Amino acid sequence: MTNAIGPRSRKVRVLATLGPASNDPAMIASLFEAGADAFRINMSHGDQQSKVPVIQAIRAMEQRFGRATTILADLQGPKLRVGRFAEGRVELKTGQTFTFDRSPEPGDDARVELPHREIFAAIEPGARLLLDDGKLVVRV
C-alpha cells in the first residue's frame, strides 16, 4: 500500500462501523487497508471512556499509514422510558385501550407511568406514538 497524505482518489467513500468484534488496532488497520475511508463509532453502547482506546487506535493507524481518516460518532437521539410494571411486562392487544399517566405506581395491563411531562404537553388526540423503536404504534 502506498503511504500518501490526503484522501484516496475515488468518488465513493467507504464507512466501516466499529464494534466489539472490530475495534481492536489490528482490525482497524485491516479495515483501513481494505479500503475504509471513515470509521463509525456507535456512542449509544458503553461510556465515554470506553471509546478513548478506539479513537487512539484510529489516530495511531493514521500515523502508521500517513493518511488522515474520518471518525463519525453516531449519537443516538433520546429514548424515553415508561415506568415499571407490577408483573415485569404486559402484552398489549390490537384495539386495546391503554393509559400513560404520571402516577409512579407500578403499571398493569391498563396503564403505566410515563415520567416525561413534556410528552403530555406535546401530543394531541389522534397523534401517533412509536414505541420500542417503532415496532409498536399507538394512537392517542
Domain region containing 28: 15-74
pTM score, whole prediction: 0.56
Please list the residues that pair with 85 across neighbouring strands.
107
Give the list of residues 6+ apart from residue 98 with CB closer than 8 angstroms, or none: 92, 109, 110, 111, 112, 138
Give the per-residue pLDDT at 5: 53
The span from the CA of 6 to the CA of 106, in Å, is: 57
In tens, the pLDDT along 89-140 reads: 999 888 999 999 999 999 999 999 999 888 888 999 999 988 877 788 888 8
- pLDDT more than 70, % of the chain: 94
Q: Say if residue 66 is in the same domain as residue 121.
A: no
Domain count, the chain: 2
Same domain, 87 and 70: no
> What pLDDT, on the 0 to 100 scale, is given for residue 131?
83
Task: Give me the amino acid identity at 140.
Answer: V
| Same-domain check for residues 70 and 121 | no
What whole-number percentage of the chain has pLDDT above 90?
A: 58
pLDDT at 38 over 80: yes
Q: Is 132 left (phi over 0), alpha (psi -120 to 50) or beta?
A: left
> What residues contact 44, with CB distance under 8 A and at least 6 apart?
74, 75, 76
List the one residue out of 43, 45, 38 whose CA is nearest residue 71: 38
DSSP for residue 106? P
Tell me whether residue 6 is in a domain. no
Q: Which one is predicted more confidently, 63 or 7?
A: 63
